[in-house]
Structure 1
């Protein structure tokens, strides 16, 4: 009885830095890049003497990294101890397991707790797999002399083994890092593991029948995933990445950090069950509003190959600047927040126009997808089409404003939020036919660029990027959040990969 759950990676389109503080909102898009967790019993039979056991076994397998770790889990205080000589640990899964089980203890009555105990005595066998899109395969593609195109990426087998970045030149004790594309792999992985465990243990039911938008089960997954993710990171982040991994694309306002204050008690010896009970009862005041890209618009991500940026250090620099020049920082943030709202409003207008008059909307998108933006205004022949063009141009100008303000903030804080090389690339991208807007996602830096393209213009943008040494990824927006999967993800991915290769 294996349970397979998956959770999506994310792209933060607006709200970089601001999203760290309430009540600022950000628009986060979930993607078709998914992390899978498979949970099943480690042993088929429970040994007769097992009632006296104080510990049970947990095995964690990560096939892409060719790693397997064995743990002992204390059934009394839910401590997880690694017993294999594995060099590299996975702090996210190491927090996910005890917190998911503590939640079961906090929510179950006596009968259910007895059944839980029996289930845990069979051990836990956990396997994690991440879609290729989470990792950078640019080096392998270049090493094989293949062109930097989505087709080269699509030719890689699903769940390809992950190589590590080269070590620092001085080679001093630096652990090799997996090169990532910035889609929030740790949040997607934590959420998938929590969801699979909670469903397996009977805490939630994620089968399609019970899973509606406002599902209380999803809220439980969300709370426990946020908790485990924050503890593993050693800090309370904004949580937008976990929120989108659970709920899919939406507009997000963060929770008040003090709802996790009781998680600190676990470090001071309070039992994990008590801590989890308090967190589940806490006032989770995050806000999420439905949002996804308007019809006939596509998210496109590109990897410029200039190496990743460290988000925490950039966030730290921005926070220091806020302290050192509060008046200027306040003014920039206010303007940024307004520009973010403008963009969101234009997207909502476009979705509404598509609903009210699909033919006029579709007609404008088709024409504009083959033109550069300065020609768009000439394309509208009637008021209903003019409204669509006006909203498209409104969205563009809001994005230009967001980018200007993000650059100013970066310059003031002394960090490359939109580095010069990215500025040149983004300007060139926004000049291409059928491109609505382009930007750097999240905290910015060298990680990735995104574009929102109209109609079928994406494949031409991918080709143009290739000539600029930018690898267009296979990632697209997919508004689905966490979900239960039927069957083996490897088989599923292979069939899905075959069916998606249709790039001209």
Structure 2
């Protein structure tokens, strides 16, 4: 298949082409908690975007097209060298794949396959008879859909190393926009392999689904995306959101929290999930689409974005220097979010009191971080000069380091601008740490500057508390696994099925009593496997990152695991972080926060991506 070229769009049907884009996401707070109402999470939308281009497949209707019960749909994904042809039933909107071309393996795209009929069903539900006739005529020209994802949605480590380039943002920016994704060779048993290039966890399926649905709805005349830059809370966006959430749930075969779709539509915000029943009402398609659109979705959304002069930096974490033991390239040794969520849910059922208390503390810590960021945004608005002065100075200095001085009661701790209190709760008592913020505090010469420093330290301590609680949850939700040898784990539990006796080495056998026996010669070995929400290797990297100049905070996004970490930096200090990460053989993405959600594009996506890639690279 020929490489995608924007010139392919410059034909008679170009005037009718619609290009829409939707952003990827980073879930900064709310991992696991966001799955249940009324817990909230803060999700940041990014400058990595998925594009969908929709135009007529045929320049005009064929003379006998009025008698057709089906129309043609072509889906092209140039990065995967994939082109599929479908027949769309104009009666029940069923989509059938009739041919598919791909270089290395056959693969369907369930998200687009659901997006197309759901978008058209929405048009049928909202249009009167005259508009339905026009819709029918438009559909008879067929649909030509092209999807393109920014390079940041995928890992291109192999391509960079193959070119002999260093693992730096500059090397990423040197790749052509929408670089083709290569695939592994077939396995010996003939089964198809997954793409060699792993995803980066930015929510590609949600961004793609949203972009396709937004482009289709605008193309069909259901919504008008053009004025959205001035009104990000419009009813048209709500329609895009409802259809995208429903189609995405059906494509996944499950109902997730929906924060990734919500951020793809609305951009950065504070999110509380919808009730799970809301999305299931989307089937059967034709009968209840009107009810879906008229129904009241109970998700909650509050505007949020990082305060001014703060930047999001994100990386993938791969096998790096042995001294750090950082493992887990996404797609090869990364973390499975569904399995991690399942482990946490099992822990909630087995120890509800402890789980509820941990979630309460984590929810409070999440709220603290959000509040401090909102305070900083307000301080920037009220006194920009004082705010900017503090951030400029702090961006060139290392952040305060926590030093344990003593353990004491909360009543004996005094809060002041010359010391900051960091509370870290455990099962026994609250241990209070004085955090001497001398370097930052010394820069504040007036109350307005002191307020900025205090809020910065408040945000930092809140993230430290979040990380601590997430690690505690990972340890508590650890699941037993069958061992292949004693050397695999340091904590071993043996179970002799014949004697029905547990031999415990490090952990109480009671927590494994309900496990099915899997004996080997009468003996089954179980090991305690900690749930790696923040693996030790990530902890070392994050601690080192938070000790760098200009770094406010750092953490693992979403459900955590080995896949990625993020940092929030002050001013222009992000380049220092990416250089330090590169020296550890980890690759910083070109991702930054972009608070805007789905949008209608008026220019060439390739040109836009080149500009974005260049601007993301800091030139000394």
TM-score, reference length from structure 2: 0.76
Question: Residues 430, 194 of structure 1: CA spacing in aligned structure 2 closer, same or farther, 3 A cutoff?
Answer: same
* Counterpart secondary structure, 1:83: strand
Structure 1 stretch displaced more, 488-497 or 27-36: 488-497
Structure 1 stretch displaced more, 159-168 or 300-309: 300-309
* Counterpart secondary structure, 2:270: strand
1:341 aligns with 2:367: yes
How far apart are 1:168 and its partner, in Å? 8.2
* Counterpart secondary structure, 1:99: helix
CA distance in 2, matches of 1:137, 1:437: 26
Q: Deviations over 1:81-130 (max 9, x none)?
A: 00014x10000000000000000001110000000000000000000000
8 Å CA contact 2:54, 2:144 repeated in 1: yes
8 Å CA contact 2:52, 2:211 repeated in 1: yes
Q: Deviations over 1:300-346 (max 9, x none)?
A: 99989984322111111111111111111111100000000000011
8 Å CA contact 1:226, 1:239 repeated in 2: yes
Structure 1 stretch displaced more, 412-421 or 249-258: 412-421
CA distance in 2, matches of 1:6, 1:379: 42
8 Å CA contact 1:303, 1:473 repeated in 2: no
CA distance in 2, matches of 1:301, 1:40: 44
How far apart are 1:295 and its partner, in Å? 0.6
How far apart are 1:177 and its partner, in Å? 5.9
CA distance in 2, matches of 1:344, 1:168: 48
- Unmatched 5+ residue regions in structure 2? 1-15, 101-105, 312-325, 399-438, 481-532
How far apart are 1:268 and its partner, in Å? 11
Corresponding residue of 1:406 = 470
> By percentage of residues, which structure has more helix?
1
Bigger Rg, which one: 2
8 Å CA contact 1:12, 1:442 repeated in 2: yes
The count of corresponding residues between Structure 1 and Structure 2 is 494
8 Å CA contact 2:395, 2:549 repeated in 1: yes
How far apart are 1:479 and its partner, in Å? 0.4
8 Å CA contact 2:229, 2:599 repeated in 1: no
Tell me the C-alpha RMSD between the 2 structures. 2.6
8 Å CA contact 1:181, 1:303 repeated in 2: no
CA distance in 2, matches of 1:216, 1:474: 32
How far apart are 1:412 and its partner, in Å? 1.5
Counterparts in 2 of 1:323-338, with a 5 A limit?
A: 323-338=349-364
8 Å CA contact 1:302, 1:449 repeated in 2: no
Structure 1 stretch displaced more, 127-136 or 162-171: 162-171
Structure 1 stretch displaced more, 168-177 or 128-137: 168-177
Structure 1 stretch displaced more, 165-174 or 461-470: 165-174
Structure 1 stretch displaced more, 474-483 or 485-494: 485-494
CA distance in 1, matches of 2:188, 2:351: 37
Structure 1 stretch displaced more, 429-438 or 414-423: 414-423
CA distance in 2, matches of 1:171, 1:462: 41
8 Å CA contact 1:304, 1:449 repeated in 2: no
Corresponding residue of 1:192 = 211
8 Å CA contact 2:270, 2:303 repeated in 1: yes
Q: Deviations over 1:424-456 (max 9, x none)?
A: 000000011110000000010111100000011
8 Å CA contact 1:306, 1:447 repeated in 2: no
Which is bigger in relative contact order (C-alpha 8 A, separation at least 6)? 1
How far apart are 1:420 and its partner, in Å? 0.9
TM-score, reference length from structure 1: 0.93
How far apart are 1:501 and its partner, in Å? 4.1
How far apart are 1:45 and its partner, in Å? 1.4
Question: Residues 267, 326 of structure 1: CA spacing in aligned structure 2 closer, same or farther, 3 A cutoff?
Answer: closer
* Counterpart secondary structure, 1:337: helix
Corresponding residue of 1:293 = 306
Question: Residues 232, 183 of structure 1: CA spacing in aligned structure 2 closer, same or farther, 3 A cutoff?
Answer: same
CA distance in 1, matches of 2:234, 2:138: 25
CA distance in 2, matches of 1:239, 1:255: 8
CA distance in 2, matches of 1:162, 1:350: 41
8 Å CA contact 2:327, 2:333 repeated in 1: no
* Counterpart secondary structure, 2:366: helix
Question: Residues 9, 204 of structure 1: CA spacing in aligned structure 2 closer, same or farther, 3 A cutoff?
Answer: same
CA distance in 2, matches of 1:216, 1:159: 32
How far apart are 1:164 and its partner, in Å? 3.5
Corresponding residue of 2:618 = 502
CA distance in 1, matches of 2:334, 2:464: 24
How far apart are 1:380 and its partner, in Å? 1.5
How far apart are 1:175 and its partner, in Å? 3.8
